[in-house]
Amino acid sequence: MKTDKNSVIGFVLLGALFILYFWYTGQQQSSILKLKQQQEDSLTKVAAAKVKLQDTVAAKLDSLKRDTAVRKAAAGNFTDAAVGTEQTVVLENEVMKATFTNKGAQIKSVQLKKYKDGSGNPVVLSDKSSISYNINTGAGLSARSESLFFTAASVEKGAQGTQIVKFSIDGANGQRVVHEFTVKPNEYNIDWKLQMNGADQLLTNNSLNFNWNVATTQMERTAGYERQVSNICFSEGNDFDYISSKTEHTFGKPVQWLSVVQQFFNSTLIADNSFTGGDVKWERKTDTTHHLATTAANLQMKVPAAAAISIPFHFYIGPSDYEMLKKQAPEMDKIVNLGRDMYSFVRPINKYIIMKVFDFFAGFVTNYGWVVLLLTLFIRLVTAPLTYSSYLSGAKMKAMRPELDTLKKKFGDDQQGFAMEQMKLFREAGVNPLGGCIPALLQIPIFFALYSFFNSNIALRGQAFLWSKDLSSYDSIATLPFTIPAFGDHISLFTITAVITSFVISIYNMSMTPTQDNPALKYMPYIFPFMLLFIFNSLPSALTWYYTVSNIITLLLQFVIQNYIIDHDKILAKIEQKRKTPKTKSKWQDRYEQMMESQKKVQDLKNKTNKK
């Protein structure tokens, strides 16, 4: 029995060992199979990727072949120009570097050597633009010029340092298209001569249909403000016009030139023989990127009914400088916004006074901040007679203040009765209560004139003064971690100085005028400087600097005139003498008093009714 028991134990242990062995072996086999499966899966994926890559490459090659075939078919007689490699040619002078591409034989980009963008890099324009037109390449076939590869000739040196490059394509039947570009020394304009042999076959109904597409990007400190002042300008029927709030315009008259305008730069296409019509679509971007706007212009032109034609164009791609633009084409100087639409009344002020005085001072003063100061002194000197008369009127009002205070106590809440007696008192004393408003009214056209001038004067661009790095943009002494609506994300010190000096002037003027019972009139002098804080904070620092200097001059003049020039005793004596002089009412005064009497009777009637 004992032997049998030991045998049983031995068989059980042996069975357990076999089970453990087979389990371990099974696990090993499973791991091996799993590893093999992973390897096979990986190999399958690699193989599939290779197949997919081969298929993609094959598809691309096939697509490229089909595209090439389509382009060759569309190119018709110009098959050799259907496929090619893009090549560039550079023409440059002292002020710009123009790069041309043989694909479409057009301008690829223009770098302005004398200007930097908001990031300190050279200003580059027309790098996102294209111009093209259709030509007939065969029976029932047409192609756009931008899809054809032209052949570039060697750069030629012309008279007086001009540089010329020609791009050409030739058809199988003797047709030929040539784009000739000329760059002259020290100029931002590029002459473009479009020449065709066989034009009667290349063009349908002797008509050229141009497509000019331009996308503008940020060049100034802030894209938002530059985007706001960007627009499209053009000469239609030899009259200047523009679109800013609108998004499209259809030309009903011949178009002499079309310009895509940024704050201080523009890209302009000028047709010597004028376009016969067309349309332009313009979209201002609303995102937070560096893109400003996109322009798509379709322009038509009738050409002579001849086999060989030559059509002259010009591109002006450069700064919006008033004197430069005036030389390019009629009305192009109006690209510089010196006053438009409801503010057009300030354009003559800018054109014939402010601009000429500014240029005069800039002729011998190198720092433009001091030029602005001298311009301010000039403006205040010219307006000094009116300013003196207003201060004299203010002094008379101050001399009469005790009498006006007595009248207020007498009439109490009877505002109409007080107003009538006040008018009689002013008439007797020969005082004009509106005389002190002249400086404020005079500031309005001058402010709008200078706002337009400083916003569009490229001479101020990049000019540093005191803590301002650029007089054409706002100065900033602190950047906020957030944006305040209507204020911005920065603090302008020139704005603060303008607001503080305006506030001091308001306090001084309040001390010179009778006390106001109307809360709106009483607190308006204090509300106005507060409003300026929001209005001025993002405006050019040249404007806020002007306003600061003007306010300081105002305070000095008020102090000197009131304390050293105006004799208050003589004013009181003249007022008393004026009272003794017989008065004759003007028709306006008579009507005003009749109106006040009528209103007083109505008010008295209402008061009696309310008491009953």
pLDDT in tens, 519-538: 555 666 677 778 888 888 88
Range scoring the smallest mean pLDDT among 173-177, 212-216, 361-365, 443-447: 443-447
The model's confidence at residue 101, banded by pLDDT at 50, 70 and 90, is very high
pLDDT of 177 > 90? The answer is yes
Q: What is the rounded CA–CA span in Å between residue 214 and residue 267?
A: 9
Which two structure tokens, joined as six digits, stand for 253?
A: 């008259």
- Give 5-21 pLDDT, tens digit per residue: 444 454 445 445 445 54
Range scoring the smallest mean pLDDT among 79-83, 93-97, 165-169: 79-83
Amino acid present at 122: P
Cβ pair 539, 447 in contact under 8 A: no
Task: Assess whether 323 and 466 both reside in one domain.
Answer: no
Task: Assess whether 328 and 365 both reside in one domain.
Answer: no
Task: Assess whether 213 and 351 both reside in one domain.
Answer: no
- Asked whether residue 596 is assigned to any structural domain, the reply reads no
Based on its alpha-carbon atoms, the radius of gyration of the chain, rounded to whole angstroms, reads 40
Tokens 């009714």 identify what position?
A: 609
The model's confidence at residue 581, banded by pLDDT at 50, 70 and 90, is low
The model's confidence at residue 258, banded by pLDDT at 50, 70 and 90, is very high
pLDDT of 187 > 70? The answer is yes
pLDDT of 325 > 90? The answer is yes
Task: Assess whether 325 and 361 both reside in one domain.
Answer: no
Q: What is the rounded CA–CA span in Å between residue 70 and residue 59?
A: 16
Write down the pLDDT at residue 185.
94
Range scoring the smallest mean pLDDT among 76-90, 110-124, 195-209, 557-571: 557-571
Evaluate the CA torsion angle 67, 68, 73, 77 in order and state its sign. positive
Residue 120 main-chain phi, psi, to 5 deg: 90, 5
Range scoring the smallest mean pLDDT among 284-298, 379-393, 405-419: 405-419
Which residue range(s) make up the domain with 220?
A: 84-336
- Asked whether residue 388 is assigned to any structural domain, the reply reads yes
Write down the pLDDT at residue 14.
45
Query: Of 266, 224, 579, whose CA–CA distance to 426 is shortest?
Result: 579
- Asked whether residue 1 is assigned to any structural domain, the reply reads no
- Give 410-436 pLDDT, tens digit per residue: 666 666 666 666 676 666 655 666 555
> Which of residues 287, 313, 336 is at a domain's end?
336
Mean model confidence pLDDT for the chain: 80
Write down the pLDDT at residue 71.
67
pLDDT of 37 > 80? The answer is no
- Asked whether residue 11 is assigned to any structural domain, the reply reads no
3-state SS, residue 127: coil
- Asked whether residue 605 is assigned to any structural domain, the reply reads no
For 511, other C-beta atoms within 10 Å of its C-beta total 9
Q: Kindly state the average pLDDT of the residues 393-398.
A: 65
Write down the pLDDT at residue 47.
57
- Domains contained in the chain, number: 2
Write down the pLDDT at residue 195.
94
Write down the pLDDT at residue 437.
61
pLDDT of 253 > 80? The answer is yes
Q: Kindly state the average pLDDT of the residues 125-142.
A: 89
Task: Assess whether 432 and 305 both reside in one domain.
Answer: no
H or E segment at 111? strand 106-116
Residue 233 main-chain phi, psi, to 5 deg: -115, 150
Write down the pLDDT at residue 82.
82
Q: What is the rounded CA–CA span in Å between residue 376 and residue 448?
A: 14
Q: Kindly state the average pLDDT of the residues 451-480.
A: 89
Task: Assess whether 204 and 120 both reside in one domain.
Answer: yes
Task: Assess whether 394 and 466 both reside in one domain.
Answer: yes
Between 485 and 253, where is the model more confident? 253
- Asked whether residue 400 is assigned to any structural domain, the reply reads yes
pLDDT of 588 > 70? The answer is no
Q: Kindly state the average pLDDT of the residues 123-135.
A: 92
pLDDT of 305 > 60? The answer is yes
Share of the chain above pLDDT 90, in %: 40
pLDDT of 445 > 60? The answer is yes
Q: What is the rounded CA–CA span in Å between residue 529 and residue 548?
A: 12
Task: Assess whether 357 and 505 both reside in one domain.
Answer: yes
Model-level pTM greater than 0.85? no
Query: Of 126, 105, 133, whose CA–CA distance to 300 is shortest?
Result: 133
Write down the pLDDT at residue 246.
86
pLDDT of 197 > 60? The answer is yes
Evaluate the CA torsion angle 421, 422, 427, 428 in order and state its sign. positive
First to last CA, the chain: 137
- Asked whether residue 161 is assigned to any structural domain, the reply reads yes
Task: Assess whether 362 and 295 both reside in one domain.
Answer: no
Task: Assess whether 279 and 353 both reside in one domain.
Answer: no
Range scoring the smallest mean pLDDT among 132-136, 324-328, 398-402: 398-402
Give the distance from CA 28 to its chain's centroid: 75
Which two structure tokens, joined as six digits, stand for 464?
A: 């540093």
Residue-by-residue DSSP string for 213-276: EEEEE--SS-HHHHHHH-EEEEEETTEEEEESS-SEEEE-S-EEEEEEE-SSEEEEEEEEEEE-
Task: Assess whether 293 and 364 both reside in one domain.
Answer: no
Write down the pLDDT at residue 210.
92
Write down the pLDDT at residue 555.
85
Q: Kindly state the average pLDDT of the residues 65-74.
A: 63
- Asked whether residue 46 is assigned to any structural domain, the reply reads no
> Which of residues 336, 356, 389 is at a domain's end?
336
Query: Of 104, 107, 109, 170, whose CA–CA distance to 134 is shortest?
Result: 104
The model's confidence at residue 444, banded by pLDDT at 50, 70 and 90, is confident
Task: Assess whether 527 and 420 both reside in one domain.
Answer: yes
